[in-house]
Every structure is written in C-alpha cells, then in structure tokens.
Amino acid sequence: MNEVILKFCKRHDVKPVATNNTYYTFQSEAEAHDILLCVRDAENVSTPKKYLGKRGREFRWGFPNDQFYVKSSDEMKQLFADLPQAIKSTQEIEQKIESFVLERSVLLPEYDIPEEFIHAEDKKDGGKRGENAFLRQLTYEGAKKRYGEITDEIRERLDFELETIVKTGYPGYFLIVQDFCSAAREMGVSVGPGRGSAAGSAVAYCTGITNVDPIAYDLLFERFLNPERVSMPDIDIDFDDEGRGRVIDYVIDKYGASQVAQIITYGTMAAKSSIRDTSRVLELPLQDADRIAKLIPDIKLKKLFGLDDKELKKKLRTEDYDRAKQLIQLSQTNGAEANVINKARQLEGSLRNTGIHACGVIITPDDITNFVPVRLAKDSDMYVTQFDNSVVEDAGLLKMDF
C-alpha cells in the first residue's frame, strides 16, 4: 500500500507524510482496547479475530497486533528510516498548525421584529436597537394586563431590568423565549409558571415567560441577571410531556431545521459497570463478577488505587475500607479476577454509549454546521450536536431548556 502511495506522490508532486493509525495512547492499552471492542459488539475476547472483511458468527472484529498506539518520535523515525522526507513533512505540518479557541460570546439567532421597530440606522447593527424597543413595548403592554395600573414602583423596576438587559446584550434572548412560550399557550400546551432565578424577573413576568409576580413576592432580579457579573441568563421552561414536541416543531419551523438541534449526552463506564462489562467479555463467572463489583465503594477505581493505606482509611468508612483492601489485594494476584480488575481500571471512564439531553435545544444564527459538528438523531431527521452540554455553552451556542 505504501509503495502505491509513494508512486502517487511522485506522479503528482505531493510530499509524503509519516503517519500511524492509532486507537489508543500506549502500547500497554492494546488488550484493554480489544476488550472495549468486545463490549461494544457484545462479543467474547476468546472469539477469533478477523481484521479484514465481514464478521461472521465464528469471527469478531479486532486488530491484528498491539501496534495501534501513539508512537514516539524515535519509533516513527525508525519505522520510516528509508523515507526521512516523510518525517520532515510531519514537522512542516506541525509548524503550520493554528491555535483554536473554542470559547466565544453567545451567538443569538436573529429574531424577526416588526418592521416599524427597525429604523434605517438600526439596520447597520442588525436591528439590535429595534430589538430593545420592541422588548420594551411588549413589556409595558404586558404590564398593563398584569397590573392594570403601572405605579412608580413597577415602572422603576421594569426600567431597571430593561436597562440591564440592554447593557448585557440579551433583549433577543427574551424575545425568543417569550415567542415560543406564547406559541405554546396558543397551541394549548401547558407552560410551567417559572422556576429558579428567572422567576425574579418582572420583564419575564410581563412578557408571559413566567407566571410569578416578583414584585409581589419581593424576588431579586439580580440573582437572574446581574450587571456587575454578566453571564448568560438561563430560563428553564417546563412544558407538558405531550406538548413539548409540538413546541420544538414550532421552533424548527420558525428558525429552520438546519438551525435547531438537540444536545448529545455521553455515557461513560463507571467503576462497577467496567468490572461487569470486562468480566462478561473475559467470561468470568457471573457470581465472581458480582462479588468483585460489591467490593467497590462509592469511589472511582482510579482514585481508589491512587490512595495510600492511610488516605484510604481516612477517606472510607470501616466496612468500605475493608472491602477496598480486599479489592486491592485481589488485583495483585495472578488469576483471572486480578486480570478483570486491572483491565477494568483501564476502561473506567471510557465512552460507552450516546444519548440525547432530556431538555436541551440549541438554536443558531444560521446553519448549525458552521458552529458545531452534528449527527442525526436515532429514528429522526433532527440534528444532534456532537458537543455535549458543557461544551456547547463554551462554544457560545444558545441553549434553551425545554
């Protein structure tokens, strides 16, 4: 294969690059990786491997050797001793790598405000001042319905909140949320009264986002949005189970299917599940696997095996300490049980499966693939981000909690 690639390089005047196919970091992890493949495919390690071609009942997927790790510079130079220019090419690529910062300001989708609120000078800045004016009107229209008479106290509270919302740059956020809350009620979907710090916002109350009067109950707006410590406001909206899907469909119709996505979740192998999974593919009897799993206290294996005896005794209760000591002693023997424990230690924390966040929905200013890698949800045409909950927020994506 390499000979063919080199012929193409020569024919098309392309520099060859020294690379190595890698699936794990260290050579010592080859067996643990093989176990992980068996866990994924519900196979046993004892089943013969077939690296190329289709798997059959008598074969399973697996790699032919333990060379699929990240090799050192010296190892790579030795492998490509007859092709030193390929090593130089990797150095050239390394020097061209540009740094990338994931974190950025929140990317709000553009909310369509009525034409009369978009003045000629506002169009230059995307109509942001128009958003401010429209939110102010919606707020005071709602205040008349909520309170009847707008007293000086109410006016002062609303003006303070609106000014803070403008300063922090989030009028569009309020417009987006109030829009789908209003749409939900019009569709007959039950909307929760509001919870968390959002219930402290009189603007949210007047625009129909929440249904709790923060002035009557003396709730603080600053807990929700503080001008001294600007952070993205987070409004959790509760919809009834049957109607939630209709609200998401409304958001998709409004902003476009290419701008709306749910958020992926990653399931990892915990301490006890790594023991049970490893036991199964190494064909350790079930009763032995259960006995080992019950020795694990409520602590990660990595941390457990990293503590000395004094720290362990201080960290755990007496009965947990006794079981943990049994586990450590068992791992130091030469039997099948020790092999399971030590391989499980390597596998703990590995990604085991993916799911979809129960309520998180992302809305982007334009095509979502410009901002985040996506995939299609299972049995659905809706996008799912491949960044999980914490990373999408760092990436500046607007996350709505439905």
The reply to whether 402 and 263 lie within a common domain is yes
The reply to whether 291 and 167 lie within a common domain is no
The reply to whether 89 and 188 lie within a common domain is no
Which pLDDT band, with edges at 50, 70 and 90, does 52 fall under?
low
Residue 247 lies in a domain: no
Residues 28-54, mean pLDDT to the nearest whole number: 88
Q: How do strand 383-385 and strand 260-268 relate by DSSP bridges?
A: parallel
Instruction: Count other Cβ atoms within 10 Å, centred on residue 281.
Output: 23
Residue 251's alpha-carbon distances to 116, 212, 245, 363, in angstroms, are 24, 24, 10, 8
Which structural domain, as residue segments, surrounds residue 127? 115-240
Mind listing the pLDDT tens digit for each residue in 367-390? 999 999 999 987 778 899 999 988
Identify the pLDDT of residue 54. 55
Residues 99-107, mean pLDDT to the nearest whole number: 83
Identify the pLDDT of residue 57. 61
Residue 246 lies in a domain: no
Output phi, psi for 242, to 5 deg. Answer: -75, -30
Residue 104 lies in a domain: no
CA distance 96 to 105: 27
248 membership: H or E segment, kind and range: helix 241-255
Single-letter amino acid code for the residue at 230: V
Q: Is the pLDDT of residue 287 over 60?
A: yes
The reply to whether 225 and 122 lie within a common domain is yes
CA atoms lying within 13 Å on the CB side of residue 60: 17
- What is the average pLDDT value for the chain, to the nearest integer? 91
- End of a domain among 331, 349, 367? 349
Residues 6 or more apart in contact with residue 89 via CB below 8 angstroms: 15, 16, 17, 18
CA distance 316 to 324: 9
Beta carbons of 140 and 158 less than 8 angstroms apart: yes
The reply to whether 204 and 222 lie within a common domain is yes
Q: Is the pLDDT of residue 8 over 70?
A: yes
Q: pTM (2 decimals)?
A: 0.78
Q: How do strand 374-376 and strand 383-385 relate by DSSP bridges?
A: antiparallel
As given in the structure block, the two tokens for residue 311 are 């720290």
Residues 120-126, mean pLDDT to the nearest whole number: 49
The better pLDDT of the pair 358, 327 is held by: 327
The reply to whether 156 and 235 lie within a common domain is yes
CA distance 391 to 222: 26
Tell me if residue 280 falls in helix, strand or coil.
helix
Tell me if residue 169 falls in helix, strand or coil.
coil
The better pLDDT of the pair 105, 11 is held by: 11
Residues 300-314, mean pLDDT to the nearest whole number: 94
Beta carbons of 31 and 342 less than 8 angstroms apart: no
Residue 203 lies in a domain: yes
Residues 336-364, mean pLDDT to the nearest whole number: 93
Residues 240-259, mean pLDDT to the nearest whole number: 93
The reply to whether 236 and 136 lie within a common domain is yes
The reply to whether 301 and 373 lie within a common domain is no
Mind listing the pLDDT tens digit for each residue in 187-230? 999 999 998 999 999 999 999 999 999 999 999 999 998 878 77
Which pLDDT band, with edges at 50, 70 and 90, does 22 fall under?
very high
Residues 300-319, mean pLDDT to the nearest whole number: 94
Of 46-55, 174-183, 250-259, the least confident: 46-55
Residue 249 lies in a domain: no
Residue 381 lies in a domain: yes
What percentage of the chain carries pLDDT values higher than 70?
96
Residue 250 lies in a domain: no
The reply to whether 69 and 191 lie within a common domain is no
- The total of structural domains in the chain comes to 4
Most distant CA atoms of the chain, gap in Å: 87
Residue 368 lies in a domain: yes
The reply to whether 177 and 47 lie within a common domain is no
Beta carbons of 86 and 76 less than 8 angstroms apart: no
The reply to whether 234 and 260 lie within a common domain is no
- End of a domain among 65, 96, 127? 96
Q: What is the DSSP letter of 284?
A: -
The reply to whether 161 and 151 lie within a common domain is yes
Beta carbons of 340 and 289 less than 8 angstroms apart: yes
